[in-house]
Amino acid sequence: MAQPEPREVQVAHALPDRQRIVTLPLRDGMTVMEAVVESGLLEEFPQLAARPLALGIFGQVVESSRLLEPGDRVEIYRPLKADPREMRRRLAAQGRTMGRGGSRR
C-alpha cells in the first residue's frame, strides 16, 4: 500500500555565508506569507523586516497570498547588490563582459 504524501512545506533563506531551511506542517489554506511567519525566519534574520519581502517557490517569484501545496519550498530572496542589466552596460562600456573576473573578449 502506498504511503500518503507528507503534508509539509519548507521555508528557506540564504546569506552568502549561511543558509537556513525550516520544515513546517502544511495546513489547508496556508499561504506563502503564513509559512514565512510561522517559520520564525523573520525573527532569526531581522534585516528581512527592513524591506518588502521578495518571495518565490522553487525559483519562481510568487505573491505572498499564494496558497501552498505539499512539498513546496518557499524562498525568501535577498535584494540584488546591483541591477544585472546596468552592470552589463557598465562592463560593455569598459570593453569587458560578466563572468569570472570580467575577462576581456
pLDDT digits (tens, 9 = 90+) for 79-97: 766 667 777 787 888 887 7
- CATH value at residue 47: 3.10.20.30
Q: Which residues of 26-50 are buried (b: 16+ CB within 10 A; e: fewer)?
A: beeebbbebbbebbebbeebeebee
Classify residue 83: in a domain, yes or no.
no
User: Residue 60: pLDDT band by 50, 70, 90 thresholds?
Assistant: very high
pLDDT score for 90? 79
- Beta strand segments in 26-93, E: 54-57, 60-61, 73-77
Classify residue 22: in a domain, yes or no.
yes
Pairing relationship of beta strands 73-77 and 54-57 according to DSSP bridges: antiparallel
End-to-end CA distance of the chain: 59
Classify residue 17: in a domain, yes or no.
yes
Q: Domain range spanning residue 60?
A: 8-77
Classify residue 97: in a domain, yes or no.
no
Classify residue 52: in a domain, yes or no.
yes
pTM (2 decimals)? 0.73
Classify residue 14: in a domain, yes or no.
yes
Domain total in the chain: 1
Classify residue 41: in a domain, yes or no.
yes
pLDDT score for 6? 72
Contact predicate 39/32, CB 8 Å? no
